Amino acid sequence: MRRRNFLTTLAAIGAMPRLSWADIGSPAYLAAAQTPDGSYSLHGLSLAGESLFALPLPARGHAATAHPERPHAVAFARRPGSYALVLDCARGQALARLTPPEGRQFNGHGAYSLDGSVLYTSEQLAENSEGRVGLWESATYTRIGEIPTHGIGPHELRRLPLSEDLLIANGGIATDPTDRTKLNIDTMRPNLARVTPEGKLVSLAEPPPELHQNSLRHLALLPDGRAACAMQWEGDPAEYPALLALWDEGRITLHEPSLEDSFAMDNYAGSIAYSPATGEIGLTSPKGGVVQIHGADGSYLRMVHRADACGLAASPDGFTLTDGNGAISTLRPGGLELRQNLGLQWDNHLIALAT
């Protein structure tokens, strides 16, 4: 966004009454999609899967994050990302288009500070994939600084509950500056880093050495202060190691499904979510066409089949699941039930709004 347009937009915000998420029907979720004409958009969805609003995106999206109070959503581009779009979901307009500083790339995820005053963006240096968190103040979406992620190729980051610290999934994979070609699979070392907003490392957890090729990528926060992390295995594809890690203050434990269901994820977890209603952790695999459910202690429970399943978030009675064939389904302990199909291809992530 050009500075002049941006200032005009700011002036407009000042002139209008402040709206909240409730004023736009309290959407339960945000999700990016491709429409049948090939364009991309960000949708606000009700619990029943109705689209409450749809705002255009300039290119394929990946994930989004929502401001805790203001109805602002930040849609992140698919990695390596050249944009993050701050959208005023109430007025249906773009507030700001964030572009990473020279030599940096957005990595598809971000989060707000506890009070919403700062937006954190997951980034890497194009040159060597070293991780950075971009800091943007959220009144004008001006960049105010950056801190290290303490790892290579960071992917999802989440703010820990009742804290300003960030939990960052450093995927460990160095990529070519111009595309997604992986450069360091033999030597990659992913980690989960807890980092203060000033960039100080509080704790660092790594998978055991023999599983150093298990890329830690996506996060779900648990109500007791722990976190669950979904992994993608880059090692020998004939091995099917655990794809779920549970993080507890700097230590991680890995949790495998049963041997007979181990191959079904195809060594790839696309999204992860925790459901407070059922106390379960779900991992999706669009490559395997399955969702695997674990208990909050990591124990493996069961598996559900759904082709191209990827987006997953908590619902009042389990999970809501989105897939590349357009279905928005409810996943309860009893099974999977289709709620809506809007004829869109849902992208990787379904973001639950706390409002």
**Shortest gap between Cβ of 237 and another protein (angstroms)?**
8
Among 348, 351, 352, 353, binds another protein (CB under 8 A): 348
Among 13, 201, 204, 264, binds another protein (CB under 8 A): 264
Rounded Cα gap, residues 134 and 249, in angstroms: 24
Binding part of the chain for another protein, among 194-202, 205-213, 220-228, 252-260 by CB under 8 A, reads 252-260
**Shortest gap between Cβ of 62 and another protein (angstroms)?**
6
Among 72, 78, 104, 255, binds another protein (CB under 8 A): 78
**Shortest gap between Cβ of 100 and another protein (angstroms)?**
17
Among 347, 350, 351, 352, binds another protein (CB under 8 A): 347
* Nearest CB to another protein, comparing residues 151 and 324: 324
Cα dihedral 188→189→194→198 (10° resolution): -60
Any contact of residue 239 with another protein (CB under 8 A)?
A: yes
88 within 8 A of 71, measured Cβ to Cβ: yes
Convert the chain into a string of H (helix), E (strand) and C (coil): CCHHHHHHHHHHHHHCCCCCHHHHCCCCEEEEEECCCCCEEEEEECCCCCEEEEEEECCCEEEEEECCCCCEEEEEECCCECCEEEEECCCCEEEEEECCCCCEEEEEEEEECCCCCEEEEEEEECCCCEEEEEEEECCCCEEEEEEEEEEECEEEEEECCCCCCEEEEECCCCECCCCCCECCCCCCCCEEEEECCCCCEEEEECCCHHHCCEEEEEEEECCCCCEEEEEEECCCCCCCCCCEEEEECCEEEEECCCHHHHHHHCCECCEEEEECCCCEEEEEECCCCEEEEEECCCCEEEEEECCCEEEEEEECCEEEEEECCCEEEEEECCEEEEEEECCCEEEEEEEECCC
Count of chain residues binding another protein (CB under 8 A): 37
* Nearest CB to another protein, comparing residues 75 and 89: 75
Any contact of residue 196 with another protein (CB under 8 A)?
A: no
Binding part of the chain for another protein, among 124-132, 236-244, 248-256, 291-299 by CB under 8 A, reads 236-244
**Shortest gap between Cβ of 315 and another protein (angstroms)?**
18
**Shortest gap between Cβ of 309 and another protein (angstroms)?**
8
- For 9, 53, 214, the CA distances from 241, given in Å and listed in that order, are 50, 40, 8
Among 236, 248, 249, 297, binds another protein (CB under 8 A): 236
* Nearest CB to another protein, comparing residues 79 and 226: 79
Any contact of residue 146 with another protein (CB under 8 A)?
A: no
Among 100, 286, 293, 296, binds another protein (CB under 8 A): 286
* Nearest CB to another protein, comparing residues 130 and 323: 323
Any contact of residue 259 with another protein (CB under 8 A)?
A: yes
Any contact of residue 238 with another protein (CB under 8 A)?
A: yes
Rounded Cα gap, residues 176 and 269, in angstroms: 22
201 within 8 A of 191, measured Cβ to Cβ: no
Any contact of residue 226 with another protein (CB under 8 A)?
A: no
* Nearest CB to another protein, comparing residues 230 and 296: 230
- Interface positions, 89-118, toward another protein (CB under 8 A): 108
- Applying CB under 8 A, the residues found at the interface with another protein are 34, 62, 78-79, 108, 155, 217, 232, 236-239, 258-261, 263-264, 268, 270, 286-287, 289, 305, 307-308, 310, 323-325, 327, 338, 341, 345-348
